[in-house]
Structure 1
Amino acid sequence: MSQAGSAVSKHAGRFSKLPVTLRLAGRELRGGVQGFVVFLLCLALGVAAIAGVGSLARGLTEGLAREGRSILDGDASFSVHHQEATAEQRAVLERKGRVSEVATLRAMARVASGDATLVELKAVDGAWPMVGKADLEPPLPIPDILARKDGRFGAAVDPAVLARFGLKVGDRLAVGNLELDVRAALTREPDRLSEGVGFGPRMLVSLDALRASGLLQPGSLVRYSYRVALPDGARDDEAVKRLLVDVEKQALEAGFNARSRFNAAPQLERNVGRFTQFLTIVGLAALIVGGVGVANAVAAFVERKRETIATLKGIGASGRTVFLIHLVEVAALGALGVGLGLIVGAVLPFAAVAALKNVLPIPIEPSIYPRELLLALAYGALTTLAFAVWPLGRAHDVPVAALFREQVAPEARRPRLVYIAATFTLAASLCGLAVYAAYDTRIAGIFVVATVATFLALRLVASAIMWLAARAPRPRSVELKLALANMHRPGALTPSVVLSLGLGLALLVTLTLIDASIRKQLSNELPAKAPSFFFLDLTAADRDAFTSLIKDKAPDATLESVPMLRGSFATLKGKPLDENSVDPEYRGLLKGDRGVTFAAEPPKGSTVVEGEWWAPDYAGPPLISFDQRLAKALGLSVGDEVGINVLGRVITAKVANLREIHWETLGINFFMVFSPNAFKGAPYMNLATVTFPNGGSDAQEFALMRDVTRAFPAVTAIRVKDALTSVSKVVENLAVAIRVASGVTLVSSMLVLAGALAAGHRRRVYEAVVLKTLGATRGRLIAAFAAEYALLGLVTAVFGLIVGSLGAWGVTTDIMKIDFAFDWPGAGLAALGALAVTILLGLAGSWRALGEKPARHLRSL
C-alpha cells in the first residue's frame, strides 16, 4: 500500500471511531450551509452588537482607569462647597503629598458693551496642573498667563467665548468686579472630564483673581477641590486607599467629598454604564429577533431533511439519534455564526477608535476583552439552543410514514416533554443572564418581562389570525379565498411572519414615540412652562434691590426666590452611609453635594403625599421633607432620621413628610427641604426665577440680562432657552445614536422575515405547481399571495403600533417622568413601512416559486 493510501486509511479509521452522530452530522455538513444564510447572519449580527458594545465600553473604562491620575490631576481629590479648607485641614493633605487647589463656579463674563454670557469659571493655584498638561494658544506658561500685570489679572478662555463676543487674545473681559486681560485661548484641560458637564464654556483665572472679583460671598455656589499627588515610589493602589482613609479620619469635620484616581470621572462612568446597558439590550433584542430566524431556519432544515430522517428511521435509527445528529449540525452552524459575530465585535472597538480618535474627548483603550466576548458567546449559544431545540425535537416521534406524506398531509405536533423542558430551561437561562450581567437589574428585568410578554402576545395574535381566517365568511373573490386559506392551513407562514415582523416593529414604534415625546417636551411644553431665567448667587443683602430692578425693567414678569445651600449626606437612619442598601440609580446622590433649602410652606410644583408639613412657626428639632422617589431609593420613610452636612456642620433632621415633585415645570424645587429653624443665622444665597408672560422675546430677555449683570456683577444668570437648546443638541445626538443602534434590530427583523418566507419556499412551490396544473394563472396567484401578505402585514402593523405605543407610554411616564406624545406621522410611517416590506419580500419569494416548471415537480410526487 502506498503512503498516501496508508494515510487515507489511517484517517478513515480515526473518523470511524467517532460516535455515529458526529460522523453522520459531519457528512451532512459537507454538503454546505444552504438555507442557513439568514441563520448565520442573525446570530452574527446580534453577537457582534453585544460583543462590540461591551468591548467598546470596557475599552473606555480601561482608558479612564489608565488615565485616572491625569483626569483627576492627582491621585485623589477632596472637594467641598461654599468654603475653603482651613489651614489645619489643608495641612492634613500637604503631609501626604503635593496639593493643588482649584475653585469652580458659574459666573457671567461681560464686555464693555454690556453683553454677557454664562461661563464656567475655574480658578487655579500655581501648582495646577500637577499631572496633565493644558493646551493654550499661544503656548505660554500658565503662571505668566494668569499673573497680575500692570494692575490687571490675566485669563485663558475657551475659543467659544472669544467667538461669542468677537474678541481676540489681548482684549479685555470682565467677571464680577474684575476686568481681566485675555492672554490665551484655552483649548484643552487635562482634568475637564473629572468635573462633569458644565453649562457654559470655560474661563481660567488664578485664585487670587477670584478672591479679588467679589464673586465669593458667604453661601456662594463655589466648589473647592484639593488634588493630592503622592510622592514618586509611594503611590501604589494601597497608598491611595490609605490616603482616603487617613484624610477621612483626620479631617472628618471638613465634609470632604473624596475621589481617587480609580473613579476619576464617576458621572461619566455611570452614563457610560447606562448607555452601554441600553445598547446591549438593543443587541440582545436583535439576537432574540434573530432567534426567531434560527427557529425558522431549523424548521425548514428539518423539512428539507425529511427523506433523510425517514431513511434513518427506516434502517433503525432512534428518534434520539435523529435529534442528536441534527442538533450537532445546528450547533456547529451556530458556532460559526457566533464566531463571526465575535470576530466583528472584537474588531469594532479598534475601528471605532480609529474613526473617532479626533472627535472623542475621552480616552479609549481598545483591546481584546475575554470577559465581554465570553458574555456575547454565552448569549449567542443560549439563543441558538433555546430556539433550535423545539423544532428539532418535533421530529423525534414522527413515524416514517408521516414523514413521507408530510408534503400532502402535514401534522401539527409538539415535541416531547423533555424538549419542551429543555427549551424553557434555556430560555430562562438566557433571561437570567440578561438580568445578571446588566448594569441596572431593574431595567433588564423590565426588558425580559416585556420581551416574554411580547412573544406570547405575538403568538396569540398569530393564533387569532389563523382562527379568524378559518372561520371568516368565504368571499366571492378566488384570490381572497385562497389568501384566507393560506393563512390558516397546516404549515402556514402566519406564526413566522407575525413573530418576525412584530418584534422589530414594536421596538421601532417604541423608540419613535419616545423620541417624539422628548422632542415635544423640549420644544413645546418645557418652554411654555419654564421660567425665562434662573439667577444664582443672589445675596440676602441684594435681594430687595434685585426685586426692585426686576419690577422696574420687567413689570409684567413673575419673580420668585428661595434660599439655597449645598449639602451632602452624612448618615441615614443614624448609621454611616452604605451604598449597597441604595437603589443603584441613586447611589451617585450619596457621593456629592446637592441643593437644599428651607421653607415654611410646601414649594410650588410639589404635593405632600405622605406625612404632614410643619407649622409656619415651628421651633422644634430640625425637620426635613424628601422627594418621594428619592426617599424610596434611600429606604427612608416618615419618622426616620438623616444627617446632612451643610457648611461643614452635620444637621440631623427627622423626615416629616414625602413630596411628589413635578420637575417638568422647571420651577424652583429641591429633593430636600428643611424646616426654617434648621438654618437660623446661617449664611446663604438665594435662587431666583423670572418668568415673562408668554415666554418673552429674545430682545426682552437679553436686555434684562444686561441690566442685571451690570447692576449685580456677582449674580449668575442662566437663560433657560439657551439651556434647552444645549439639551436639545445632546438629545438630538443621542437620538441619532439610538436610531443607528436600533437599526441592528430592524435589520435582524428584515432578515428573519426574509428567512421565514424563504423557509416556506418549498411549500409555495408545491402549491403553485398544483394550482397551475389546475389552471390557475400567475396573475391570480400573485394577487392571492399579495392579499395574504397584506393581511398579515396589516394585522402585525396594528399590533406593533399598540405594543410599541404602550411601551413608549410606560417608559416616558414611569421612568422618564414626562408626558407621552403620540406621533401619528412617525408611528404611521413605521407601520406602513412594515406593511410594504412584508408585501415586497413575500412577493419576491413567491415570484421565484411561481417561476418553477410544473413537470419537474410532478414527476417527483
Structure 2
Amino acid sequence: MAAQRPDEGAWLRTLKLAIRFSLREMRGGLSGFMIFLACIALGVAAIGGVNSVAQAISAGVANQGQTLLGGDLRFQVNQRSASDAELGFIRSLGAVSQTSGMRSMARLEDGSDQALVEAKAVDDAYPLYGALETDPALPKEQLFGERSGVFGAAAPDLLFDRLNLHVGDRLKLGSAVFQLRARLVSEPDAVSDGFGFAPRLMISSQGLAASGLVQPGSLVENAYKVRLPDGTSEARIKDIQAQAAKDFPQAGWSIRTRSNAAPALSANIERFSQFLTLVGLTALVVGGVGVANAVRAYLDGKRGVIATFKSLGASGSFVFTVYLVQILLIAGLGIVFGLILGAAMPFVASTLLQSVIPVPAQGGFYPGALAMAALFGLLVTLAFALLPLGRARDVPATALFREMGFESRGLPRLPYAGAALAIVVALAALAILSANDTRIASIFVGATVFAFLVLRLVAVLVQWAARKSPRVRSVSLRLALGNIHRPGALTPSVVLSLGLGLTLLVTLALIDGNLRRQISGSLPERAPNFFFVDIQSSDVDAFASLVGKESPRGTLVKVPMLRGRIMALNGVSVDKVKVPADGAWVLRGDRGLTYDARQPENATLTEGAWWPQDYSGKPLVSFSAEEGKAIGLKLGDTVTVNVLGRNVTAKIANFRQVQWETMGINFVMVFSPNSFAGAPHGWLATLTDKSATTADDARLLNAVTRAFPAVTTVRVKDALDIVNRLVAQLGTAIRAAAGVALIASVLVLSGALAAGNRARIHDAVVLKTLGATRRTLIAAFSLEYVLIGLATALFALAAGGIAAWFVVAHIMTLPSHFMPEVAVATILVSLTVTVGIGLAGTWRVLGHKAAPVLRNL
C-alpha cells in the first residue's frame, strides 16, 4: 500500500478535526436553523413529490396499458368503416372488438328536453381487457339487448341528473328508442377515447345501426381493438405497425399500442409536472435566500467562537470547513424531511386523484425523482451558503472582537465567488436538461436570473430613495426611512423573497383572469349561439329553411365538412418531420377540412392568391398562416391528407389569417372544390342571433332535434360553461401550487427578521434609553414594513403584468387586459404579509430587557 503524501495526510487530519468541532458545536441544537430546514424541506418535497406523482401516474398508464387502450393494438378510422382488406388484416392478428363513437342529441320520448351525448356503441366482444361496471350489474345481453323494439343503454349519473331520469326510463337517439337499464360506473377504456364535453351514452352496435345516425360523411370514429396472443413482445407490435403502414398506405388510420394507451393524458401529465417542478424550484430558489439569511445570522452569532478559533491559530480554510460541514449536515436533515414528504405524495395522490384522473397513481418509491429533488436541494444550499461562509473566512479576529457582527460588503475571495457561480450554472443546466420542454425551462431559468437582478436593483433603488428622502418631522417615519437603508437592513432580503412569490402569483392570477374574461365575457359576445354538425347534404336546404323560420333574425352560416389526417409534408411522412411545439398539434390526429370556390368572408390572405371559381386543375389548399409558418411551410409546398381512406396531395396556394378566438367557422385547411369530388360528406353550420333569449334557444334546439334527429346541436354557451369550470379548476390548482412559492417567501421573510433580530434589539434598547416609547418604535417598524411591502408589490404588479401579457397575447394569442382588482389584491397581500410577520417578529424585540444589552456596549 502506497504511503500517503504529507499534504494528503494533513488535509485529512484537518477535515476530521473540522468535522469533530462541527458536531460539538451542533450539540446546542438547531436554534436559528428552523427556517433553513423549512425552506429546503418545502422545495425538495415539492420537486420530489410532483415528479414522484407524475411517475406514479405514468407507471399506472404503462401497467394498465392494455385495459386503458382496450387491447394491445388500436386501429382507428374516421367517417368510414375499415375495408374488407383492412378488417381481414386486423382480424388476422388476434381477437377483435369494434367500438364506434360519435356525438349526437339524446332526447326524451315526448321531445320536451334533450342533451348532447357522447354515444359509444360496443360489440359482443367488448371489453377485451378490464371490466365494464354498471349499477345494477347486468350481462351485456340484458344491458344492451333489444326488447320489443327498444334497445338497452347505460349512462353516468351526469346524464340522469341533466335530463331528470331514473333507471328504466326511455330516451330517443336518432330514430331509435333506448331504455336506460343501468348507471355507468366504470368504462375501462374511457381514457383512450379522449376527453368528451358531454356525458357518455353506451349502447350496442345494433342499437347505433338502428338509430340511423351513421350516414355517408357522418363524424363517426370506428376503433378496432386487438388482443394479441399472450407473450407478444413490443418488438413484434412495432413490426405489425410497420407492416400496416406498408400494406395499407392509403388507410389513414391512427394506430396506438398498449405502451402508448393515452398519449394526450401522458403529455398533459408531463406538461403539468414540469410546471409544478418549476414552481417547486422557484420555492427552492426563494428558500435559498432564507438559507443565506440563516447562515449569515448563525455566523453572526458565532463571531466570538470564530474570533477565538483565529486567535488560537486556526486558518480561514479551517473555519470555512467547520461551518460548511455544519451547513451541509443541517441541509441534509432538511433534504431528508423533504424526501420523506415527497415519497409519501404518490400514496396520497392515489386516493385524492382517483376522481380527477381515470388512471390510478401507483403508490410506490421513485428513487430517480427523489434523487433529482435531493440534488436540487444540495445545489441551492451550496449556491446560497458559500458567499456568507466565504465572507466569514476573511474577517480578521480583531474586527470580530470589536464589531457587533458581519456587515462586510462586497464579494468574498474569487474561489468562493467562482464556486458559487459554477454551482448556479450547474443548477440552471440541471433544470433545463431535466425538463421535458427545454425551451420553457430555459425561459424560466432566464426569467429567474433576470428577476433576481432586477429585484436586487429594486432593493438598491428603494434604499437610495430612503437615503435621499428629505428630512421629515415625524420621528417614526424618520426612523423607518433610516432602517430601510442602514447597513444590514432587511430591504434586500424582503424585496427579493417576497417579490418572486408575488410576481408568480400576479402572473398566474392575470392569466387566469384573462381566460375567464374571454370565456365568460367577450368570447360569448363574438361567438355564435349554436354549432350544428352532421347535416346531411340531402337535408341542408330543409335544415336552413327550418332555422330561418325558427330564428328569422339569426344569421346562418353553413359549409361542407370532412375529416382528414395530414400524412405527409412535401412528400415526407409527418412521422419523420420535426416541427416546433407551437405547430405540432396540427399534425396530431384528424383535422376538420372544407372546400370553397370563393374566398371566405372571414378569411384575410397574408400571402398568395385565391383560386378561380371554375378552377379544375390539381388540388390546391389555403393554409392557416400562423400554423403553417410554425411547421415551416411556404407557398408552393405540398400537403398530403387522407380523407375516407384516400390520400389527396394539394399544393399550398395561399396563407390566410385565422381568428380562432371568435369561435366562428374556421379551418386550418380550405381546399379547392375539385380536391374531394364525389366524396360523401356532411355540413357544418353556425347560427348567430344576439337578440335570442334562453327560451328562444330552447325552442330552436327542440325544433331542430325533432325534425333532424341525426344533426348534432351544440349550444355554445353550454360548452363555454364547461370550459369555464375546467379553467376555474385548473386555475385553482395552479394558484395553490404557486402558493408554495409564496409560503417559501413568507418563511424567508421570517428568517430575515430572525437574522436581523440582534441588531433590532440593540437599536430598540438604545432608542428606548434615549426616550423613545414603545408606540414610537412600533410605528417606525410598521412604516418600514409598509414602505418595503408597497415597493415590492409595485414591482410584482409591473413584472407580473408584463409576463402575463406576453403569455396571453403572444402564446395564447388572446386579447390581454390589466385587471385593477388583481393589483389591489396583490398590494393587500404584500402589506398584510410584510407588516403582519414583521410586527410579529418585532414584538418580542421590543420587550427585550435593556440591561443585558447595555452591559455589552
TM-score bracket for the superposition, by shorter chain length: over 0.9
Equivalent pair of 1:75/1:235 in contact (CA under 8 Å): no
Equivalent pair of 2:528/2:686 in contact (CA under 8 Å): yes
User: Which residue is equivalent to 1:20?
Assistant: 17
The CA deviation at 1:154 is 2.8
Q: Which amino acid aligns with 1:306?
A: R
Which of 743, 746, 752 does residue 742 from structure 2 map onto?
A: 746
Q: Which amino acid aligns with 1:784?
A: A
User: Which residue is equivalent to 2:504?
Assistant: 507
Cα distance change of structure 1 residues 315 and 610 upon mapping to structure 2, 3 Å threshold: farther
Equivalent pair of 1:604/1:669 in contact (CA under 8 Å): no
The CA deviation at 1:177 is 2.0
Q: Structure 1: how far apart are the matches of 2:390 and 2:136?
A: 73
The CA deviation at 1:633 is 3.7
Q: Structure 1: how far apart are the matches of 2:756 and 2:597?
A: 72
State whether structure 2 residue 33 is matched by structure 1 residue 33: no
Q: Structure 2: how far apart are the matches of 1:603 and 1:740?
A: 45
The CA deviation at 1:208 is 2.5
User: Which residue is equivalent to 1:833?
Assistant: 829
Q: Structure 2: how far apart are the matches of 1:627 and 1:322?
A: 66
User: Which residue is equivalent to 1:649?
Assistant: 646
Equivalent pair of 1:605/1:663 in contact (CA under 8 Å): no
Q: Is the deviation greater in 630-639 or in 100-109?
A: 630-639
Equivalent pair of 2:97/2:224 in contact (CA under 8 Å): yes
Structure 2 SS opposite 1:621: coil
Q: Which runs of 5+ in 2 are unaligned?
A: 1-11
Q: Which amino acid aligns with 1:40?
A: L
Structure 2 SS opposite 1:668: coil
Which of 247, 256, 260 does residue 263 from structure 1 map onto?
A: 260
Structure 2 SS opposite 1:819: coil
User: Which residue is equivalent to 1:156?
Assistant: 154
Which of 681, 685, 692 does residue 689 from structure 2 map onto?
A: 692
Superimposed CA distance per residue, residues 746-779 of structure 1 (whole angstroms, 9 cap, x where no aligned partner): 1111111111111100111121222223332222
Cα distance change of structure 1 residues 625 and 425 upon mapping to structure 2, 3 Å threshold: farther
Equivalent pair of 1:298/1:388 in contact (CA under 8 Å): yes
Cα distance change of structure 1 residues 423 and 607 upon mapping to structure 2, 3 Å threshold: farther
Equivalent pair of 1:604/1:668 in contact (CA under 8 Å): no
Q: Structure 2: how far apart are the matches of 1:801 and 1:561?
A: 45
Equivalent pair of 1:440/1:584 in contact (CA under 8 Å): no
Cα distance change of structure 1 residues 25 and 453 upon mapping to structure 2, 3 Å threshold: same
Q: Which amino acid aligns with 2:500?
A: L
The CA deviation at 1:17 is 8.4
Structure 2 SS opposite 1:291: helix
Q: How does 1:243-282 map to 2 (within 5 A)?
A: 243-282=240-279
Superimposed CA distance per residue, residues 668-710 of structure 1 (whole angstroms, 9 cap, x where no aligned partner): 111222222222222221110011124x211111110111111
State whether structure 2 residue 319 is matched by structure 1 residue 322: yes
Which of 365, 368, 374 does residue 371 from structure 1 map onto?
A: 368
State whether structure 2 residue 296 is matched by structure 1 residue 283: no
User: Which residue is equivalent to 2:8?
Assistant: none
Q: Is the deviation greater in 380-389 or in 736-745?
A: 736-745
User: Which residue is equivalent to 2:765?
Assistant: 769
Q: Structure 2: how far apart are the matches of 1:587 and 1:260?
A: 21
State whether structure 2 residue 427 is matched by structure 1 residue 430: yes
Structure 2 SS opposite 1:148: coil
The CA deviation at 1:426 is 1.4
Which of 662, 668, 673 does residue 671 from structure 1 map onto?
A: 668
Cα distance change of structure 1 residues 410 and 351 upon mapping to structure 2, 3 Å threshold: closer
State whether structure 2 residue 65 is matched by structure 1 residue 79: no
Structure 2 SS opposite 1:106: strand
Q: How does 1:119-158 map to 2 (within 5 A)?
A: 119-158=117-156
Equivalent pair of 2:46/2:277 in contact (CA under 8 Å): yes
Q: Which runs of 5+ in 1 are unaligned?
A: 1-14
Equivalent pair of 1:16/1:23 in contact (CA under 8 Å): no
The CA deviation at 1:62 is 0.4
Which of 724, 728, 742 does residue 724 from structure 2 map onto?
A: 728
Q: Is the deviation greater in 214-223 or in 809-818?
A: 809-818
Q: Structure 1: how far apart are the matches of 2:171 and 2:77?
A: 28
User: Which residue is equivalent to 2:192?
Assistant: 194
Superimposed CA distance per residue, residues 608-628 of structure 1 (whole angstroms, 9 cap, x where no aligned partner): 334444344433322223233
Superimposed CA distance per residue, residues 331-374 of structure 1 (whole angstroms, 9 cap, x where no aligned partner): 11111111110110001111222445566532211110011111
User: Which residue is equivalent to 2:337?
Assistant: 340
Task: Tell me the TM-score normalized by structure 1.
Answer: 0.95
Q: Structure 2: how far apart are the matches of 1:540 and 1:620?
A: 25
The CA deviation at 1:228 is 0.5
Equivalent pair of 2:350/2:360 in contact (CA under 8 Å): no
User: Which residue is equivalent to 1:231?
Assistant: 229
User: Which residue is equivalent to 2:805?
Assistant: 809
Cα distance change of structure 1 residues 329 and 627 upon mapping to structure 2, 3 Å threshold: farther
Q: Structure 2: how far apart are the matches of 1:854 and 1:164?
A: 72
Q: Structure 2: how far apart are the matches of 1:782 and 1:161?
A: 61
Equivalent pair of 1:626/1:673 in contact (CA under 8 Å): yes
User: Which residue is equivalent to 1:206?
Assistant: 204
Which of 595, 599, 619 does residue 598 from structure 1 map onto?
A: 595
Q: Which amino acid aligns with 2:778?
A: I
Superimposed CA distance per residue, residues 5-63 of structure 1 (whole angstroms, 9 cap, x where no aligned partner): xxxxxxxxxx9785332222222222221111101001101111111111111111100
The CA deviation at 1:191 is 0.9
Equivalent pair of 2:391/2:408 in contact (CA under 8 Å): no
Which of 382, 387, 410 does residue 379 from structure 2 map onto?
A: 382
Q: Which amino acid aligns with 2:828?
A: L
Which of 110, 114, 124 does residue 113 from structure 1 map onto?
A: 110
Aligned residues: 845
Q: Is the deviation greater in 96-105 or in 468-477?
A: 468-477
Structure 2 SS opposite 1:729: helix
Q: Is the deviation greater in 542-551 or in 302-311?
A: 302-311
Task: Tell me the TM-score normalized by structure 2.
Answer: 0.95
Cα distance change of structure 1 residues 330 and 605 upon mapping to structure 2, 3 Å threshold: farther
Q: Structure 1: how far apart are the matches of 2:276 and 2:629?
A: 28
User: Which residue is equivalent to 1:7?
Assistant: none
Percent same amino acid at aligned positions? 50
Cα distance change of structure 1 residues 779 and 230 upon mapping to structure 2, 3 Å threshold: same
Cα distance change of structure 1 residues 769 and 716 upon mapping to structure 2, 3 Å threshold: same
Equivalent pair of 2:251/2:642 in contact (CA under 8 Å): no
The CA deviation at 1:811 is 1.7
Which of 792, 796, 804 does residue 796 from structure 1 map onto?
A: 792
Superimposed CA distance per residue, residues 532-564 of structure 1 (whole angstroms, 9 cap, x where no aligned partner): 110000122211111111111100011111111
Q: Structure 2: how far apart are the matches of 1:409 and 1:430?
A: 28
Q: Structure 2: how far apart are the matches of 1:350 and 1:531?
A: 45
